[in-house]
């Protein structure tokens, strides 16, 4: 008996550009913060699609931002 086709979405590559929602989740920030970071140049992104309706942020800029911001545990002085 033939196997049914697999219609699942493959996992995203570690080098794929990210949506606003994905960046929010990864950086634990609000969408407004991501848009502010794009406007200020802290993150690099681009618009595409009909009438530039969709935004993607480059994986490289997210990784670079994470490297610049060291983790500081809560309660650390």
User: Within its chain, how far is the Cα of 48 from the centroid?
Assistant: 15
- With pLDDT > 70 as the criterion, what percentage of the chain qualifies? 77
Arithmetic mean of pLDDT over the chain: 85
Closest C-alpha among 57, 39, 37 to residue 47: 57
Q: CA–CA separation, 6 vs 62, rounded Å?
A: 31
The answer, yes or no, to whether residue 7 has pLDDT greater than 80, is no
**Higher-confidence residue: 72 or 63?**
63
Contact 17, 57 (CB under 8 A): yes
Instruction: Please report which residue ranges of 12-73 form alpha helices under DSSP H.
Output: 20-27, 31-40, 59-68
Which pLDDT belongs to residue 21? 97
- Average pLDDT over every residue of 35-49: 95
* Per-residue pLDDT reduced to its tens digit, 13-34: 566 999 999 999 999 999 999 9
Q: CA–CA separation, 65 vs 52, rounded Å?
A: 25
pTM, full prediction: 0.69
């Amino acid at each position: 008996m033939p196997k049914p086709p697999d219609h699942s979405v493959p996992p995203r590559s570690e080098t794929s550009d990210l949506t606003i929602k994905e960046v929010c989740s990864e950086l634990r920030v609000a969408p407004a913060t991501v848009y502010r970071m794009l406007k200020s140049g802290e993150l690099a992104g681009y618009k595409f699609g009909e009438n530039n309706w969709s935004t993607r942020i480059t994986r490289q800029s997210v990784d670079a931002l994470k490297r610049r911001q060291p983790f500081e545990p809560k309660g650390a002085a």
